[in-house]
Amino acid sequence: MKAVRCPSCGAAMKRNGRTGAGSQRWRCRACGASTTVSYDDTAARLEEFLAWLMSKDTQLSMPGQGRTFRRRTAEFWRVWPMPEPTGEAHRVLFVDGIWLSRDLVVLIAHDGEHVVSWYMAQAETSRAWEALMAPIPAPDVVVCDG
């Protein structure tokens, strides 16, 4: 374990009991400041999630039948990948919104063969459509249904 340093003066800290919630409390030997230390393990949990995602393993085969894994990696399931703009100009773009639920619509731009871009929004507003179209070079024609 790395030595805990004081956020105020940078000196070494020593253990000084526990908080009411049970966390380790630390006190600075030089200035007397008291603090608790929390460790950010987000990178390690993301690495665990990506390793599972790229493997052929099932969650059922994991310890605890995957319940612990799902709890530890729950925040990464909510990540929605956004398309990278290629900068390619299109003559015609077809745009439409697909409602997934009452407050969730996916706005899609399609060139007739491939999906060029998409954007998730709460409603089909001008701001949402602008966010969809901003990274795409201006097409000659846009086809829509409204």
Give per-residue pLDDT as tens, 73-100: 999 888 777 778 788 889 999 999 999 9
The per-residue pLDDT for 2 is 73
Distances (CA, A) of 47 to 16, 24, 25, 59: 33, 27, 29, 16
Position 86 in a domain: no
Q: Are 39 and 56 in contact (CB under 8 A)?
A: no
pLDDT of 1 higher than 70: no
Is the same domain home to 96 and 115?
A: yes
Most confident residue range from 10-14, 37-41, 79-83: 10-14
Quote the pTM value: 0.51
The per-residue pLDDT for 128 is 93
pLDDT of 56 higher than 80: yes
Residue 99 burial class via C-beta count within 10 angstroms: exposed 0-12, middle 13-18, buried 19 and up: exposed
Q: Return the closest-CA partner of residue 73 out of 55, 96, 47.
A: 47
β-strand partners of 142: 93
Average pLDDT of the chain? 89
Is the same domain home to 47 and 31?
A: no
Q: Please state whether beta strands 13-18 and 24-28 pair in parallel, antiparallel, or not at all (unpaired).
A: antiparallel
Give 107-127 pLDDT, tens digit per residue: 999 998 989 999 999 999 999
Position 84 in a domain: no
- pLDDT above 70 as % of the chain: 99
Q: Return the closest-CA partner of residue 105 out of 77, 127, 138.
A: 127
Task: Please give the residue range of the domain that contains residue 26.
Answer: 1-39
Is the same domain home to 99 and 139?
A: yes
Number of domains in the chain: 3
Position 83 in a domain: no
Position 82 in a domain: no
Rounded CA separation 108/51 (Å): 30
Give 22-35 pLDDT, tens digit per residue: 999 999 999 999 99
The per-residue pLDDT for 84 is 80
